[in-house]
């Protein structure tokens, strides 16, 4: 795979299943290199395996939802600075009806049970500042911003304190304007209709210091707006993605139990709606895995006496069914285990695997006993699958066929490395085509971001691009990653943390990733032990910068969108104040703890050739983080290189403009080719 091949990637994303379980609508995201934009359209596929077809025209369609009677599809589309909520007869073709236009982003959407209304969550911009959709204000005409809270900005969204998200309801036939059900400066999220259609559950913070503690509550509001929302919970945790039980007596939701004492596994809780005041019940309490995967969480799905949720497990992202800890026979339908076989066995914590296997499930939905899901593998960016109790699993789409016909994609090989303290670390390796036929290959150790995320069995263009450039690839899930026990994820909390002290960032995670590279050099003849490179983004960029300040083992390094000075990051990141969750103390209480674990503190010991790649609009790890390290290295007479991408945020490598993504890949591959002695012709990287 070469950088220009990014244009060949097509990936199925969010999926929704018709009430009768016979058809699935899903988003398909493609890259238009010529127009320099990504596009997303709705496609529909039949559970019988009939060939999927496009349903909508795009260019940026998302949040597909079936009406309760299965006759209509609703979704959100964005184009030319406008957002609209649209519907289309499911049996189309036809012209979509525009139900309403919205001046900003819409983040969630749900049909009422009677199909007469649509609830949605939309950003509400301050009109005094932004004007309205017809007459937006120029920046020079906007009044000054008066900021009174943390979390006033969000990476990729810009300023959000004067554009909070709120719950609205609109008639499904577009006969009236949307009606706001929530208000205030605290954002609301999630929109879940009660089974009788009279109430909506959502998540919001209603206490004074919500920006300081990260907590929120479940709320219930009359769907007709006749009364304000009522708080259901006690402001003890952080809730997300509420889901009503079929009888309307309970709400299930995902929970972060300690927002400023992380990382913690996302948990599954159920709370009684009536009578109020009962203690929430945790389901799957004995299942020591994260149930709120980054980028793949959705509301739990009720299935008889079970709840279906996503779960991370050793590089896999699966769907598991959690049984009611209060008793009751399992009423959930059985589905495939990843090999087309039903699995009714109870696993840890009263769970069972519904969709498993060596893959990453991106989205799933259940209807009429049938499950639709989209999933990725190392050689498939994302396809639609359907599973039912009788027929097992069936792959419905093959959008990756064009990519596979044009490029050679490589499967990873799993191996285990032993870290400095004897801990076993799960690793993978990918060798370039033809490796082993000649001299050993220059090889790059890749480090994921987070740190509470995981590498594993999903498609990652980064790896395919590296092997396509005759570079070997190795990667692992060091301590601090998700997908393993909570103890594993919390192992790199600071030594001074009041609870569960660990090594701090750059401690055992350093040992684990270095062990991954060293074991690969011992195990695989195609790895050139003298030509090892290292690359990481975000926290992976942090650890890359840290490693080159503590060892000269690697011949070249690429540190992307890194946090290099944790103390200054607490002053200018969009999540300022929340690094405490790993440190255990604020930067005001113990500034020395932040400096001690900052790569920039060890700049004098950095001699490895270092390329820094950063986006100028990155709010999570502001570009000043790269500038600080670049200036320090240059003043020491070193030769760092800093590549700045204008108009991009923290998500450049995943959702940046296609041309910037291609240019970024060219620049990184040229850097490794130059410093690791790869002789294959590489693009210039000048874009």
pLDDT at 253 (0 to 100)? 98
The closest of 255, 261, 222 to 241, measured between CA atoms, is 255
Give the integer Cα–Cα distance in Å for 574 and 572. Answer: 7
pLDDT at 680 (0 to 100)? 58
Give the integer Cα–Cα distance in Å for 104 and 674. Answer: 45
Mean pLDDT over the full length of the chain:
94
Q: Which pLDDT band, with edges at 50, 70 and 90, does 617 fall under?
A: very high
pLDDT at 436 (0 to 100)? 67
Domains (range + CATH), the chain: 289-409 (no CATH), 416-676 (3.40.50.1820)
pLDDT at 390 (0 to 100)? 78
Give the integer Cα–Cα distance in Å for 148 and 150. Answer: 7
Point out the least confidently predicted range of 26-35, 339-348, 438-447, 453-462.
Answer: 339-348
Give the integer Cα–Cα distance in Å for 383 and 10. Answer: 9
User: What's the half-sphere exposure (Cβ side, CA atoms, 13 Å) at 441?
Assistant: 27
What letter would DSSP give residue 342? B
Signed CA dihedral, 483, 485, 491, 497: sign only: positive
Point out the least confidently predicted range of 127-136, 228-237, 500-509, 598-607.
Answer: 127-136
Residue 168 near residue 179, CB atoms below 8 Å: yes
Average pLDDT for residues 484-503, to the nearest whole number? 98
429 φ, ψ (degrees, to nearest 5):
-135, 145
pLDDT at 90 (0 to 100)? 93
DSSP track, 506-531: TSHHHHHHHHHHHHHHHH-TTEEEEE
Q: How far apart are the first and last CA of the chain?
A: 18
Residues 6+ apart with CB under 8 A from 244: 192, 193, 194, 195, 201, 250, 251, 302
Bigger pLDDT: 52 vs 456: 52
Residue 520 near residue 527, CB atoms below 8 Å: yes
Bigger pLDDT: 134 vs 309: 309
Q: What is the dihedral of CA 660, 655, 619, 215, to 10 degrees?
A: -170
The closest of 605, 642, 610 to 626, measured between CA atoms, is 642
pLDDT at 6 (0 to 100)? 98
Task: Indicate the burial class of 286 (C-beta count within 10 angstroms; 0-12, 13-18, 19 or more).
Answer: exposed
Indicate whether 100 pLDDT > 60. Answer: yes
Structure tokens at 315: 């590089």
Point out the least confidently predicted range of 142-151, 304-313, 673-682.
Answer: 673-682
The beta-strand segments (E) located in 80-225 are: 82-89, 97-102, 106-111, 117-123, 153-154, 158-159, 165-171, 179-180, 188-193, 199-204, 217-222
Structure tokens at 250: 């309970």
**Size of the chain in residues:** 687
Q: Considering the chain, what percentage of its residues have pLDDT values greater than 70?
A: 95
Q: Which pLDDT band, with edges at 50, 70 and 90, does 590 fall under?
A: very high
pLDDT at 435 (0 to 100)? 81
Point out the least confidently predicted range of 75-79, 338-342, 392-396.
Answer: 338-342
pLDDT at 277 (0 to 100)? 80
pLDDT at 82 (0 to 100)? 84
Residues facing residue 365 across a β-bridge? 372
The pTM of the full predicted model, rounded to 2 decimals, is 0.95
Residues facing residue 309 across a β-bridge? 320
Average pLDDT for residues 449-466, to the nearest whole number? 97
Indicate whether 245 pLDDT > 60. Answer: yes
Structure tokens at 407: 């490029």
pLDDT tens for 307-365 read: 999 999 999 999 999 999 986 433 333 343 433 333 444 566 789 999 999 999 999 99
Average pLDDT for residues 615-619, to the nearest whole number? 98
Point out the least confidently predicted range of 95-104, 235-244, 386-395, 662-671.
Answer: 386-395
Structure tokens at 489: 């994820």
Position of tokens 């097509």?
A: 10
Q: Which pLDDT band, with edges at 50, 70 and 90, does 433 fall under?
A: confident
pLDDT at 388 (0 to 100)? 87
pLDDT tens for 18-39 read: 999 999 999 999 999 999 999 9
pLDDT at 391 (0 to 100)? 74
What letter would DSSP give residue 395? E
Residues facing residue 318 across a β-bridge? 311
pLDDT tens for 632-647 read: 999 999 999 999 999 9
């Amino acid at each position: 795979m070469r950088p220009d091949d990014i244009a060949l990637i097509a990936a199925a994303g969010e999926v929704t299943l018709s009430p009768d379980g016979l058809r699935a609508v899903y988003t398909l995201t493609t890259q238009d290199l010529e127009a320099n934009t990504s596009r997303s359209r709705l496609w529909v596929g039949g559970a019988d395996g009939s060939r999927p077809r496009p349903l909508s025209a795009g260019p940026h369609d998302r949040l597909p939802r079936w009406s309760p009677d299965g006759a209509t599809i609703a979704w959100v589309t964005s184009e030319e600075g406008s957002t609209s909520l649209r519907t289309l007869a499911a049996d189309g073709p036809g012209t979509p009806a525009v139900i309403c236009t919205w001046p900003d982003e819409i983040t969630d959407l749900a049909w009422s049970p009677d199909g007469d209304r649509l609830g949605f969550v939309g950003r509400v911009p301050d009109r005094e500042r932004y004007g309205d959709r017809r007459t937006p204000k120029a920046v020079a005409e906007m009044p000054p911003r008066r900021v009174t809270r943390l979390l006033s900005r969000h990476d990729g969204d810009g300023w959000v304190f004067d554009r909070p998200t709120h719950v609205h309801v609109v008639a499904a036939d577009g006969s009236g304007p949307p009606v706001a059900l929530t208000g205030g400066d605290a954002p609301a999220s999630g929109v879940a209709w009660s089974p009788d259609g009279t109430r909506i559950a959502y998540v919001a913070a209603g206490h004074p210091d919500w920006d300081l503690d990260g907590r929120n509550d479940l709320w219930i509001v009359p769907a007709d707006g006749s009364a304000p929302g009522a708080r259901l919970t006690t402001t003890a945790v952080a809730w997300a993605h509420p889901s009503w039980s079929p009888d309307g007596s309970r709400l299930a939701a995902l929970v972060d139990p300690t927002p400023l004492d992380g990382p913690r596994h996302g948990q599954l809780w159920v709370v009684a709606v009536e009578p109020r005041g009962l203690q929430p019940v945790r389901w799957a309490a004995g299942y020591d895995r994260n149930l709120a995967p980054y980028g793949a969480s959705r509301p739990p799905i009720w299935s008889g006496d079970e709840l279906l949720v996503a779960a991370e497990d050793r590089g896999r992202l699966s769907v598991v069914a959690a049984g009611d800890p209060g008793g009751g026979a399992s009423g959930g339908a059985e589905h495939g285990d990843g090999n087309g076989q039903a699995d009714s066995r109870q696993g840890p914590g009263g769970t069972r695997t519904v969709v498993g296997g060596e893959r990453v499930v991106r989205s799933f939905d259940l209807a009429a006993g049938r499950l639709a899901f989209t999933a990725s593998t190392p050689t498939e960016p994302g396809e639609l699958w359907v599973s039912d109790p009788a027929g097992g699993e069936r792959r419905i789409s093959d959008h990756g066929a064009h990519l596979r016909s044009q490029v050679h994609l490589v499967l990873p090989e799993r191996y285990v490395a032993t870290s400095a303290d004897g801990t076993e670390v799960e690793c993978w390796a990918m060798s370039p085509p033809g490796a082993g036929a000649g001299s050993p290959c220059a090889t790059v150790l890749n480090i994921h971001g987070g740190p509470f995320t995981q590498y594993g069995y999903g498609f990652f263009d980064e790896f395919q691009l590296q092997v396509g450039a005759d570079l070997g690839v190795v990667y692992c899930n060091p301590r601090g990653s998700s997908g393993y026990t909570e103890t594993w994820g919390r192992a790199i909390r600071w030594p001074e943390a009041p609870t569960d002290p660990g090594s701090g960032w750059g401690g055992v995670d350093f040992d684990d990733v270095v062990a991954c590279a060293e074991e690969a050099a011992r195990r695989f003849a195609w790895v050139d032990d003298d030509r090892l490179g290292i690359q990481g983004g975000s926290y992976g960029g942090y650890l890359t910068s840290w490693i080159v300040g503590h060892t000269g083992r690697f011949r070249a390094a690429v540190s992307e969108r890194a946090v290099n000075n944790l103390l200054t990051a607490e002053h200018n990141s969009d999540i300022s104040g929340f690094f405490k969750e790993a440190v255990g103390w604020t930067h005001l209480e113990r500034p020395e703890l932040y400096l001690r674990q900052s790569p920039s503190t060890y700049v004098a010991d950095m001699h490895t050739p270092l390329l820094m790649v950063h986006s100028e609009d990155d709010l999570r790890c502001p570009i000043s983080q790269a500038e600080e390290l670049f200036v320090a290295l240059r003043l020491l007479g070193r030769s760092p290189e800093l590549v700045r991408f204008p108009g991009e945020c923290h998500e450049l490598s995943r959702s940046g403009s296609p041309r910037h993504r291609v240019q970024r890949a060219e620049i990184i591959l040229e850097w490794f080719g130059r410093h690791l002695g790869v002789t294959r012709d590489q693009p210039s990287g000048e874009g």
